[in-house]
Amino acid sequence: MIRLVVYWINYAFMSKSLFYIDSIENRTKSYDDLLNDVNSTKSYNSYFRSNSYYSVFLNIIVSILLEKEIIILDNDFSEKEIEILIGFNDLETKQENLTIEEIDKLQVNSIEELLKKINNVDYNWKISLFTSGTTGLPKKVSHTFETITRFVKRSTAHLSDVWGFAYNPTHIAGIQVFFQALLNQNLIIRLFGLSQTLFFEQVEKFQVSHISATPTFFRLIYSDNLVLPSVKHITIGGEKLDKKIVEKLKLMMPDASFTNVYASTEAGSLFASKDDAFIIKEEFKNMVKVEKFELLINKCLLAQSDDLKLAGEWYHTGDIVEIMETEPLKIRFISRKNEMINVGGYKVNPAEVEDAIRSISGVSDVRVYAKPNSVLGNLICCEIVSVNDEVTEKRVRLYLTEVLQDFKIPRLIHFVDRLDLTRTGKVIRN
């Protein structure tokens, strides 16, 4: 008992200065460690690729202080992909030794001074990422400090937040969480890539208060017999809001409020809401519109990119939305345009079919996808993860017959132990 009290006193004291804890990399870094690592940096490479989350964070900070662009490449890109994306693949050749003047720029004496420098970053600084589409070649988009931190809240109310890091750090949402935590000097706990057991262990041990993740992430870690009272706020984004998982999370994290965020790599975070409807704020009034059910964003809201195709001043997001009200504009996300599956001329929204299957008792997750077919162009198929043997193909079909049109019902149903995900934790569609 005494040991436990001592541990908690030590932890309470330490947590004020801790920066990052990673149970997979077995790494604990304090803000002093971070400062030392920044101060001792002697070389820099704008083309950054690493499987270490901490290295990503450190190099972003170094790039800001040096006022140099950082181009973040996903660690799972193949050499061939990298060559296609940036024109070469020998990243080591771009490593530069820093000049004395540059090393001087990295000498900061305190975290307060570091944060001040980051907040006053040069407007020319940019961070470039590659969009995480499930098909096609990734697109390079470059964000300024302003666009990447558009939704970051800095206030004394956030000083004791502990962030659960539930995205890949090369993903825009991961970088946004990093800045939210850093600029409030919070502790970051890695949760991405953890097993369900380890997830619960880490959240409880470090009293994680804030988690931002995709619906798929939450579905994978959900348990109906555990409660996490430390979590005070959940942010959900990246995929269509799954109301069923939100209801479940409210039971698992009873003290948490939640925010649904509309964000993309191309535009950063744009809208936030307490449910699945987004009211477009006055400041975005003339920068957002809906055409043929597709959400269009004015180029002034976009990150810089040569790879994005514009129609005049407008970017077609590929997001299909429903207009709920026109003044002010209120929209609801329906699906991704390119995710609609064409079955013999009928458009099937895989998210709708997934919602229907997920509402069957005993189904923990599902992936609906298209299989090319010589008869209808595509055939709807699905993979189901179930928690018991009561979920049978017959029962699934019987239920779907009642709630979906025939052409939307998967014709091939497979039961699997787990779903394959993209590198950003989203369900693979193809």
Partner 1 sequence: MSMNILLNIVNTILSNKGWVSIERLSGSMKLREDLNFDSLDLAELTVRIEAQFGIDIFEDGLVDTIGGILDKLCIHE
Chain residues in the site for partner 1 (CB under 8 A)? 343-344, 371, 373-376, 379, 393-394, 397-398, 401, 406-407, 411-412
Q: Closest approach of Cβ 398 to partner 1, in Å?
A: 8
193 vs 23: CA distance, rounded Å = 10
Q: CB neighbours (10 Å) of residue 82? A: 19
Q: Closest approach of Cβ 356 to partner 1, in Å?
A: 16
Torsion from C-alpha of 416, 219, 75, 335, nearest 10 degrees: 90
Task: Output DSSP code: residue 421.
Answer: B
Q: Closest approach of Cβ 221 to partner 1, in Å?
A: 33
Nearer CB in complex with partner 1: 257/342: 342
Q: Closest approach of Cβ 381 to partner 1, in Å?
A: 8
Q: Are 358 and 365 in contact (CB under 8 A)?
A: yes
Q: CB neighbours (10 Å) of residue 255? A: 13
From residue 289, give the alpha-carbon distance in Å to each of 284, 295, 311, 334. 10, 6, 13, 15
Nearer CB in complex with partner 1: 249/343: 343
Nearer CB in complex with partner 1: 224/406: 406
Residue listed under structure tokens 């995929």: 239
319 vs 317: CA distance, rounded Å = 5
414 vs 385: CA distance, rounded Å = 9
Nearer CB in complex with partner 1: 182/384: 384
Which residues have C-beta within 8 Å of that of residue 426, sequence separation ≥ 6? Answer: 132, 134, 214, 216, 238, 239
Nearer CB in complex with partner 1: 262/369: 369
247 vs 359: CA distance, rounded Å = 12
Nearer CB in complex with partner 1: 116/371: 371
Q: Closest approach of Cβ 419 to partner 1, in Å?
A: 20
Closest by alpha carbon to 163, among 145, 178, 148, 150? 178
Nearer CB in complex with partner 1: 14/398: 398
Residue listed under structure tokens 């709630």: 403
Nearer CB in complex with partner 1: 226/376: 376
Q: Are 249 and 256 in contact (CB under 8 A)?
A: yes
Q: Closest approach of Cβ 258 to partner 1, in Å?
A: 38
Q: How many CA atoms lie within 13 A of 224 on its CB side?
A: 8
Nearer CB in complex with partner 1: 284/407: 407
Q: Closest approach of Cβ 413 to partner 1, in Å?
A: 9
Q: Closest approach of Cβ 406 to partner 1, in Å?
A: 6
Q: Closest approach of Cβ 407 to partner 1, in Å?
A: 6
Q: Are 125 and 64 in contact (CB under 8 A)?
A: yes
Under DSSP, is residue 29 helix (H, G, I), strand (E, B) or coil?
Answer: strand
